[in-house]
Structure 1
Amino acid sequence: MASPRSLRGPARPRTATLRDVLSELAEGNLRIDSDRMGTPPWPQHRRRMVVDSVLRGWPIGPVYVITTGRIPRVIDGAQRLTALLDFVKGAFAVDGLLSPVDPVLRELDGAHYAQLSTGMRQAVDDYPIVVIELDGIPPEHLRPIFVRLNGVDWLTPEQRLFIEAGGLGEQVRDLVNQAADRGLEPGRIGFSNVGLAYDEVVIRLLAATEARQVSAAADEFEKRAKTGEPVVDEVKRRAAGSLASLLRLPSVDGAGIRFSKATLLSWLLLLVQADQRFGPASAHHIGRLLEWFERQRRRISAGLKLSDPPPVISEYPALPYPELLNLFNEYAAIDALGATQILHRDVVLWLFLLACGGLPSESVSPGPRLFRLYAALADGADPDTAVTEVVSEGWGAW
């Protein structure tokens, strides 16, 4: 039977005023950790409901803070605090018509924080927040704790797997946070981390980088997530490098450059392979290719013609570029994260990289096979058949 000491655990509750908690956030003595569950941002209606609860004196639930590290971090309750901080700053007004209707709150409908009476503002400022500080908890245990705490039944088994991926999951979270600091955000790349989409891409990238096999992004990532064992530092460094290289590309900010999980993964796999085979200078060629490729494949998908010629060097004029873009789109549309689809997209990107002059050595793999593929396509081979043949010959190891 567990001793009383083992039952106490690392949680230390304290009560603070809303003013004090918001001041800590504003002064940088407390920071909000990025979302651990991949939940979408709260709609304005829900943000107003939190303010309404505070105005009524109703409970809004505790805030959980982890105290390891230099600055304590809010790891649960971030959306509540963000809503309240925005309200105090004047970002939105009271909704006095929420039910159950309260005659006092009805009179406040449309009022901002600064327009409240002195007594009402004081009541908001003095609202008690229960802060539960956690200390001594291994980082890999945090997300499983909050899965249980919040009862997130909306998670799919796969998403729950990402959250419960132990040390590997914390490495993924660290990489996602680093990438977010460099610009991995929906307005820039085209999709958000709702449903832990970024986490899934990064776990797949790590699985492939560790195995040095493109297909491992489909075949091995679930097994790796289940073991929860972290990858070695070199694998994490290479994955981080590919994320950083992509987000540094000026072309990512161009109009019409938007990714899905599948296409983002394909570009990251290309970057991590090219870096290992040819060094960091390969990112320049990939950036030039990406700027043209992503715009034009979207035109092809919409049934339009190419608006610009591909940025290929003179030695490679004969590729059926529209057909290859269409092929890439097809393999990015259905079962887009399956091994076959990932491998086919990888071959197409490498073929375009060859044509853009991005292979400094003809003898280094995958150069020889790409030259044979180019020759077959230049002779009129069907693109899908020719690419499928390359895949069937064991494409993807590096």
Structure 2
Amino acid sequence: MEISNNQLLRFTTAGSVDDGKSTLIGRLLYDSKSIFEDQLESVSVTSAKKGYEGVDLALFTDGLKDEREQGITIDVAYRYFTTPKRKFIIADTPGHIQYTRNMVTGASTANAAVILIDARHGVIEQTKRHSFIASLLNIPHLIVCVNKMDLVEFSEDRFNEIVIQFEEFSSKLLVKDVHYIPISALLGDNVVNKSEHTSWYGGGTLLHTLETLHISSDINKIDARFAVQTVLRPQNDEFRDYRGYAGRVASGIYRTGDEVAVLPSGFTSKIKSINAGEQEVEEAYAPMSISITLEDDIDVSRGDMIVKKKNQPEAEQEFDVMLCWLNNDAAKPRTKYTVMHTSNEQRAMIKDVVYKIDINTYDRDTEDKILAMNDIARVTIRTTHRLMLDSYRDNRNTGSVILIDENTNETVAAGMIV
């Protein structure tokens, strides 16, 4: 399969504390010659101050000053690099259990997830948690990197043990495409260059795997969804009669003359014109930012959704989501929040915690109704007005919500509509 270097692959890295995520990304950037000279010079100086004989590869991803000073990664670090075959965006997420919530942010747009496992420790709770989140977020590819193989003498038996451990629980997940690679991020084995220490391994390096993964679009091309962000009413004589509805196409294709419905009112009309910037176009598709005018003068406002007349989402006030709780403070059922869905903002409450997921066993706990930080649960949400919903697996954009604390304005949870 021919790969164009215009293709963009977004991938996230995840693992437990000290599994070597930052070192792995540093090695990937360093060995693929994706480091600028000033970056290399800066990291070399910092490494020398810390007493390292060579370059501390982890510093290539630890971009914040306090991260470097403390020697830990405390947030999602995004990095960009290009090879002759493909462009990449990396989201390096923290391994500490209290930062599991960051993976939801880092992985929300990913095409692949790189899961690191320490060869000495094997599959642990964080491995299962991160893999479950990857499955929940509908990430199509998992790359399991068994790191620190140099500390187990590049043992084939140990590698196979970990593969079996991972497969025992991952068989319950929805991710079908899983790759296993034995690596040493510190020494560079099987990261960019093939290792001489793993002659028993017949697969490709991490970079080769990333370069050859099939990228399928996660944009729903069938269901046309356009959430109105603002109504355009120019105040000059030339455009006095112009009334446009601006926003971004979430999915599907819109064409001039299409019969559409405006939700939640249900009023119908036809598309009169479509503008992309100052240019009028005949059709628009995701993820274009456009303005639409309609043939009929009907009431449309921010948060409304323009859809095809014969293909409409569900309009619901009460619905279930798989929710990841992100906040330090616990949530209880019937607490009031603001829910944000596309450009629609409504007051809402968690009506019920249907069940919580035990990450170790994937058992469902129907008794515990308190959501603590990092908990993943199926909950029922009720809003003051109807929202236009698709399931997350059908449409990432219209199938996701966030909850905001009305008092602090903090984002407290992210949810995928079931």
TM-score (norm 1): 0.22
Relative to its length, the structure with more strand (as a share) is 2
Which protein shows a greater Rg?
A: 1
TM-score (norm 2): 0.21
Relative to its length, the structure with more helix (as a share) is 1
